Amino acid sequence: MERLWAPWRIDYLVQEKPAGCIFCQEGSDRDRLVLQDNPLTLVMLNRYPYTNGHLMVAPKRHTVDLESLSDAEMLELFRTVTMCRNVLARSSAPEGFNIGINLGKAAGAGIEDHLHLHVVPRWKGDNNFICVVADIRVVPEALLATYDRLLPYFAAAGEVA
């Protein structure tokens, strides 16, 4: 049997997990992995990424319903998604993107009680045999290294209005 070692994961596994919604928690942007904080939306790295640069975009207001979003929230949400796609295109040169919303547990929502969109950069071959054979996802860049690499791009992109 071969082993895939990921010793950097132990810190996360043994730390106390914060209660409540990840999008509504207080704390430093770096600790929360928040890359951009706009008036109505925020952008953060996914702690469990499919690949490097997997972002989540959420309205600041705690809601689960698309129908409850105001026109201003909807517009900022999708402008922010567009900005995220542009930032990732410049910073990471992906060959494609998955952009989507998982509404409800049956649809795969890991965070059911706060609406959010995923922006996932994709490259040919990023989903290879190890995912199928070993049910393991290989993410080649450490999470905080990705955060530090992307943060200047989001600062340069400015606030979405």
Q: Which residues are part of the catalytic machinery?
A: 116
Burial class (CB in 10 A: 0-12, 13-18, 19+), 36: buried
Q: For residue 96, what are the CA distances in angstroms to 85, 121, 132, 134?
A: 10, 6, 21, 25
Order of strands, sheet of 34-37, starting from the edge strand that comes earlier in the sequence: 34-37, 41-45, 55-59, 117-122, 96-101
